[in-house]
Amino acid sequence: MSRHRTVSRRLVGAATAVLALAVAGCANNATSGSGSSQQAGASGGDKVSIMVGGLNKQIYLPFMLAQQLGYYAKEGLNISLSDEPAGVDATTNMLAGKVDGVGGFYDHTIALQGIGKSAESVVSMLQVPGEVELCRTDLKGQINSAADWKGRNLGITDTGSSTDFLTQFLAKKNGVDPSTTHRIGVQAGPTFIAAMEHKNIDCGMTTEPTVSQLLQKNDAYIIYDTRTAAGAQQAFGGTYPATSLYMSTSYVDSHKATVQKLVNAYVLTLKYIQDHSAAQIADKMPADYYAGVGKDAYVAALDSEKGIYNPTGIMPPDGPKTCLAVLQPNPSVTGKNIDLSKTYTDQFVKAAS
């Protein structure tokens, strides 16, 4: 199979894999592809399982920070957090009923609607993606933008992931047919770094703290940086809301009280991020989250990109339209009648406020 399988193929595969996953495991007993699940909160509280597309990535920091601050327990929640390096696989587990929600990019709810599945973001945590496109240092001068990507090996977390969506968009925007690139799933952290060091990829899209690790060693340089609103505007043409908690619409409709407790915890967490320094936030995080890059570099990276976090949890008004425009090159969305109002809800955030 080609390394650049289309997004629609992967998402349809995810949907058809639901039955097999449901047979393979019990609902709400989440385990991760890279480690065991972690329980947090009140032992007798509402049980909720959330799979996150890379728990130690700074773009997903609110999920663990809420645990470390005791906000799940405060809301009477018994949370199971599990780690899955690729958001598309976390989505597959949600569709199968193996987890109740996903910590991942909002754009997945749009892609899911395109294949007939209904899911919605209940809180928006990032107002920009925080993704960085890096290229190998030895290719400086050869690759200056996505216009130079034809025939190149491009690192993404996995096929059908948000990094795949964004990479395809950047290619097409710069006049390169995505099918002429080789998009390779290399996840993040050590596997992404190894792929770069061994020249398995020419460029790749990743986040902090992986970005800082490669830049520290002078193994890579930046061609796109969406850790700022200006960078996201330049790359994608508008506000691109990224990290969210999204859940199937059926779960949201049938567990409104529990969803409200979750959103309460995350609104408090987002406020904590705004009111505290990067160093204070890092002090709350597990030490293994910054072991690879070192705590000082972790704090510096977090300090430089604190602006990525949504201060309120409300979906940015122009965000869904930007996401839909970016997803248009993908067959799962192209030509489909997407109702954006059904891909997210602000009702729980407004109630929390």
Pairing of strands 101-105, 119-124: unpaired
Would you state the pLDDT for residue 86?
A: 61
Q: What is the pLDDT of residue 33?
A: 40
Ranges of the chain with pLDDT below 70: 1-37, 41-43, 85-88
Question: What predicted TM-score, i.e. pTM, was given to this entire model?
Answer: 0.86
Task: Report pLDDT for 113.
Answer: 97
Give bridge partners of residue 119 from the DSSP assignment: 248
The domains located in the chain, with CATH, are 7-128+241-352 (3.40.190.10), 132-236 (3.40.190.10)
Q: What is the pLDDT of residues 256-270, one digit of tens each?
A: 999 999 999 999 999
28's tokens: 């709400």
* Cα-based torsion angle of the residue sequence 108, 112, 118, 121 in order, rounded to the nearest 10 degrees: 10
Q: Which residues contact 169 (CB under 8 A, 6 or more apart)?
A: 236, 326, 327, 329
Residue partners of 172: CB distance under 8 A and separation at least 6? 178, 329
**Among 171, 213, 170, which Cα is nearest to 189's?**
213
pLDDT in tens, 262-291: 999 999 999 999 999 999 999 999 999 998
**Residue 83: partners with Cβ closer than 8 Å, 6 or more residues away:** 32, 33, 34, 35, 51, 52, 54, 55, 56
pLDDT at 41: 67
pLDDT at res. 300:
95
Integer CA distances (angstroms), 124 to 181, 204, 258, in order: 31, 25, 17
How many angstroms separate the first and last alpha carbons of the chain?
48
Q: What is the pLDDT of residue 13?
A: 43
Q: Is the dihedral of CA 118, 99, 44, 244 positive or negative?
A: negative
Task: Report which of 79, 128, 91 is spatially closest to residue 243, judged by C-alpha positions.
Answer: 128
Give me the pLDDT at residue 251, please.
98
User: Residue 281: which H helix or E strand, with range?
Assistant: helix 278-284
